[in-house]
Structure 1
Amino acid sequence: MSAHPGGPATAAPGTRRRPSRRLVRTVTVVASCLALLTAAVVVGARVLGQEPTVTLLANWTREDETNFRKAVIEPFERKYHIHVDYQGSNAESQVLGADVEAGTPPDVVVLTGPGELAEYARQKHLLPLEDLVDPQDFGPSWAMRLTDGHVYWFPLKADLKSIVWYPGDVGAQQRGQAAHEPAQWCVGMGSGATSGWPGTDWIEDILLQRYGPEVYEQWARGDLSWRSKQVRDAWTTWRDLVGAGGDPDLVRRALKTPFGAVSRLVTTEPRGCTLEHQASFIRGQQAWRQAHGRWSPSAPLLVKTAANRAWEVSGDLVALLHTTPEARKLIRYLASTDAQRAWGAEKSGFSVHTDVRPGPGDPDSDWRLPLARTLRDPGETHCYDASDAMPPAVRDAFAEATIEFLAHRDHLEALLRSLETLSNTRGLTWLRSVCDRTPD
């Protein structure tokens, strides 16, 4: 979740070189400070000097950034002798919006939201990728063509979302019992500028499992009312599962705990919670490694069906905003089997590239292989995270609404009316499809 992309619609940047985004910011901030200005000139000389450079913005920070640099960026720099000026930010949508408005966008961006990218494509800020990437390497649901016939993004990595994690020593009967106890769900809503998105994942998955991909897709593309029985039912089911508006201590824990920290509760004595509805990337958390985390399809625990009706998925999507020889090489590299396989090897996600096959070969293959195979299985229906596919303004309001609803369950009708009004705003960009289809 992130802010609505800013800036007026302008022509896509051309091939002319322009000052780096960081140099522009530096000069603005330190114009009145001689010492810092001198340092900025030294940095600028490096960026604008003899070393070819490509700018890249993504949301990976800390350990994820370290892994990304080691597995992907450094091999690219060694192979092509091109410096990657990488910026990782937990508020990358806001950063990107400001850079686009200032006329200093990065060359390449990695975003989770196809809805946000579709808006940038409509504003002519993105460049088509067909001459750099073969969309068939990823499939139409991952590298989709927009209404203008062009492909503007592809996934660097993907994750499965319709799953529930539990400690390795918790049996099926215990899981079934825990699912009916709100305190046993590990819920953390905090995520900085994008707080609330874990709540949207719950509501999306409940709707998908209870009513199927057709209803889910109608809603994700703006054709099903927020006040419909199906959508309202998804919200109230989430309320009952996690105790929205109930125990103040439980609500406070969910609202104050960052999504990446709530997993620690599975390692306390006694355990603070047992089940976590979260995407496949969460298994990389130290707590779940320590607890020997295993996963279950979400449907039996959320809506009491025997099996998932479809699988919610998400991805980190690569797009091109400024075409230079260096940027084109980086795009081709990120779409290559080498880069896709290397990033997947860091266990930060999975590749859906058709030539990168999951295989046994590491000690975690007992839980990773089934995830990878489910994510790629052509016999299953996969639906992209609905909020990430929605227009950014709707996505952000949805995330904020889940926070308010968790604290005030009696606000539901007002929240749904507000989301309905916003979704009916003219000029929003909606994707026409978010699900692939199970073959007949």
Structure 2
Amino acid sequence: MRIRLTKRAAAVAGTGVAVSMLLAACGADAIEDQSAGGDASAGGGDAAAGDLPEIDCAPYEEFGDLSGTSVSWYTPVRAPDDADYITWVGLFEECTGVTVNYEGSAEFEAQLLVRIQSGQAPDVAMLPQPGLAASIITDNPGLAVEPPEAAVANFREYYNQAWEQYGTVDGTLYGLPNSSNAKSLVWYSPTAFEENGYEVPETWDEMVALSDQIVEDFADNEAVKPWCAGIGSGDATGWVATDWMEDVMLRMHGPEVYDQWVNHEIPFNDPQVASVLEEVGRFLKNPDYVNGGIGGVQSIATTEFQAGGLPITEGQCFMHRQAAFYSTNFPEGTSVAEDGDIWAFYLPPMNEEFGRPLLGGGEVNVAFADRPEVQAFQVFLTQPDATQARGGIGGGNYIPPNTEFDPSVLPDPVQQLSAELLTDPEATFRFDASDLMPGAVGAGSFWSEMTAWIAEDKSNEAVLDAIEQSWP
């Protein structure tokens, strides 16, 4: 069985980003396994639970006496960030007497399928791809269990409802969100902006005007450009360019057309998709705009994504579109803060009609058992004060798409910025499109054709036709 490499996995495989973002698709060849292996139990809340805030234990009373029972939770989150999750579930253990056997795996996706096929499915699995969740649920009728009413009630009241479609299969809600991440960011240097009299753009037109102004201001220095980028990522080269497509699609045509595109209700060479590629080309294939500090347009294809935004620190580039996790790639000693060497602003909207579009990713928890202790654990995973406590523990870039979540508890300013965007009730959130599309497209032709578009100057029409022809 071929394991699909998601963009998120491809990104993390090449960075020092928190291991909670590691997916099994990375494989042993992509990143060294840092875990000791085997099951890890939270051990009755011994891991510094006394230093954590208390949570309301009342929601678990309806499930009866749970003392002496256990729940297995299988996830892609490995050392060192599994310790933060283990500490967190200690709160649930203290409330209920349930032992949570937490296990994070470097081969999560492959091993989860093996366990399911052998009749040894975990009680709960944290699934980093809605597509994987849907395929498991569809291919194994009767295996997944609907979450209890109390967990669903938490979701309905406190969470961004866009997530419902990512946990729903054939009209039934199975998966509830665990954590989320924001992608719609532009990295820049506050100092460089201030020195040159530039202001952070609040609309797409303002961002284009700023780009043109930078071109004019540095006309005598060809090494300096408004934008810098890199789409290199080994076998996953091209995913960065598809993120651009997704962000622009959401801004230009809105969530309804975005969903139609993801579900192939419109063809990949539809005029609406063509207009998106043309707009992306306005940036990535514009020799006046790119590739500051690196080279010409084609250099984008040969530049590893980790290095794509580094020219900002050298004053050779002013802007770099990339997800929140990119902050870990700047050189050691770089101050990443609103008043620091590097910061990020929200990628501006194009059309007021579509609100504040936000591209992102994340995970959903799906249960494969309906014992009372498992249902109680699902309530815990969605309980507002419990998720607030998890954020305060830190580690793993944990940000629940919970509109009541207080970002101030997060220890990292980039996490706080992401959380403010993700918990904004005005945000129009959509999951990364290529991670929702069939593997032959999302992790196949979409990546490779966008690479050819830049590296070989392949025409817009030829690129879109090729992707359309690859759709299964």
Q: What range describes the TM-score normalised by the shorter chain of this pair?
A: 0.5 to 0.7
> Match for residue 151 of structure 2?
133
Q: Kindly report which structure 2 residues correspond to 1:49-64, keeping only aligned pairs within 5 A, or say none.
A: 52=70, 54-58=72-76, 60-61=77-78, 64=81
> Match for residue 337 of structure 1?
384
Structure 2: distance between partners of 1:231 and 1:393: 18
Corresponding position: 1:118 with 2:134: yes
> Match for residue 298 of structure 1?
347
**Deviations for 1:276-298, whole angstroms, at most 9, x for unmatched residues?**
32233444666596243332231
Any idea what SS the aligned residue of 1:378 has?
coil
Corresponding position: 1:310 with 2:344: no
Any idea what SS the aligned residue of 1:201 has?
helix
1:150 alignment partner AA:
T
1:225 alignment partner, one of 258, 262, 267: 267
Q: Kindly report which structure 2 residues correspond to 1:197-346, keeping only aligned pairs within 5 A, or say none.
A: 197-243=239-285, 251=298, 255=302, 257-259=304-306, 262=308, 266-267=312-313, 270-271=314-315, 273-283=317-327, 287=331, 290-292=335-337, 293-299=342-348, 310-323=357-370, 327-345=374-392, 346=394
> Match for residue 399 of structure 1?
447
Any idea what SS the aligned residue of 1:141 has?
helix
CA change 1:167–1:77 in 2 (3 A) is farther
Contact 1:203–1:235 under 8 Å retained in 2: yes
| Residue 227 (structure 1) shift | 0.7
- Give unpaired runs (5+ residues) of structure 1: 6-39, 426-440
Any idea what SS the aligned residue of 1:314 has?
strand
Corresponding position: 1:156 with 2:178: yes
Contact 1:350–1:372 under 8 Å retained in 2: yes
Contact 2:5–2:236 under 8 Å retained in 1: no
Corresponding position: 1:108 with 2:124: yes
> TM-score scaled to structure 2, two decimals?
0.64
CA change 1:131–1:401 in 2 (3 A) is farther
Structure 2: distance between partners of 1:343 and 1:88: 20
Any idea what SS the aligned residue of 2:162 has?
coil
Contact 1:401–1:415 under 8 Å retained in 2: yes
> Match for residue 3 of structure 1?
4
1:159 alignment partner AA:
N
1:177 alignment partner, one of 211, 224, 239: 211
2:101 alignment partner AA:
V
Corresponding position: 1:142 with 2:163: yes
Contact 1:138–1:154 under 8 Å retained in 2: no
CA change 1:167–1:103 in 2 (3 A) is farther
| Residue 236 (structure 1) shift | 3.7
1:352 alignment partner, one of 380, 401, 416: 401
Structure 2: distance between partners of 1:255 and 1:62: 32
CA change 1:307–1:294 in 2 (3 A) is farther
| Residue 386 (structure 1) shift | 2.2
1:279 alignment partner AA:
A
**Deviations for 1:26-67, whole angstroms, at most 9, x for unmatched residues?**
xxxxxxxxxxxxxx9xx79x9xxx994614122x34554454
CA change 1:243–1:111 in 2 (3 A) is farther
Q: Mean Cα displacement is larger for which, 203-212 or 78-87?
A: 78-87
> Match for residue 84 of structure 1?
101
Any idea what SS the aligned residue of 1:170 has?
helix
Any idea what SS the aligned residue of 1:142 has?
helix
Any idea what SS the aligned residue of 1:351 has?
coil
Structure 2: distance between partners of 1:306 and 1:328: 40
CA change 1:297–1:52 in 2 (3 A) is closer
| Residue 203 (structure 1) shift | 0.6
Give aligned-pair identity as a percent: 21
**Deviations for 1:171-217, whole angstroms, at most 9, x for unmatched residues?**
27287339877683243542x77554332211111122223333223
Contact 1:51–1:82 under 8 Å retained in 2: yes
CA-atom RMSD in angstroms: 4.3
CA change 1:95–1:361 in 2 (3 A) is closer
CA change 1:334–1:228 in 2 (3 A) is same
> TM-score scaled to structure 1, two decimals?
0.68
| Residue 162 (structure 1) shift | 2.2
> Match for residue 187 of structure 1?
230
| Residue 156 (structure 1) shift | 1.4
- Give unpaired runs (5+ residues) of structure 2: 7-36, 42-67, 201-209, 216-223
2:99 alignment partner AA:
I
| Residue 132 (structure 1) shift | 5.9
**Deviations for 1:218-274, whole angstroms, at most 9, x for unmatched residues?**
212221221122212323433442349998966556545254x6555544xx25644
| Residue 107 (structure 1) shift | 3.4
Contact 2:435–2:443 under 8 Å retained in 1: no
Structure 1: distance between partners of 2:458 and 2:114: 36
> Match for residue 417 of structure 1?
465
Contact 1:115–1:392 under 8 Å retained in 2: no
Q: Kindly report which structure 2 residues correspond to 1:65-80, keeping only aligned pairs within 5 A, or say none.
A: 65-70=82-87, 72-73=88-89, 75-76=91-92, 80=97
Q: Kindly report which structure 2 residues correspond to 1:23-62, keeping only aligned pairs within 5 A, or say none.
A: 52=70, 54-58=72-76, 60-61=77-78
Count the aligned residue pairs. 372
Any idea what SS the aligned residue of 1:159 has?
strand
Contact 1:53–1:82 under 8 Å retained in 2: yes
CA change 1:312–1:63 in 2 (3 A) is same
